[in-house]
Amino acid sequence: MQTMTFQVHVGADGILKLEVPIGMAEVELDVVVTFHPRRNGPAAPNNLLQFIGAIDDPTFVRGPQGEYELLP
């Protein structure tokens, strides 16, 4: 099984059109298509970068984070 990820645009007709060269010919395949709408703006990891250093209050203190188990 091989997984490919694409970012695509669906036109006004509402039809997703895919042309995916897979390097195989004359074979039968099971194909699974999963889709979800992208959020406006960048994905969470890049979006969070804008908040680094955003708290400029010197009295702000991060509270205790509690205990946790280290996994092997």
Gyration radius of the chain over CA positions? 22
Query: Which of the pair, 42 or 8, is modelled with greater confidence?
Result: 8
What pLDDT was estimated at residue 6? 83
Domain assignment of residue 24, given as a range: 1-55
Residue 68 lies in a domain: no
Residue 17 lies in a domain: yes
Pair 28, 22: CB distance under 8 Å: no
pTM score of the predicted model: 0.41
**Unique residue bearing structure tokens 């091989």:** 2
What pLDDT was estimated at residue 59? 93
CA–CA dist 27, 21 (Å, integer): 13
Residue 22 lies in a domain: yes
Residue 63 lies in a domain: no
* pLDDT single digits (tens) 21-64: 888 999 999 988 888 887 765 555 666 777 888 888 889 998 99
Residue 62 lies in a domain: no
Banded model confidence at residue 13, pLDDT cuts 50, 70, 90: very high
The domain tally of the chain equals 1
Pair 55, 62: CB distance under 8 Å: no
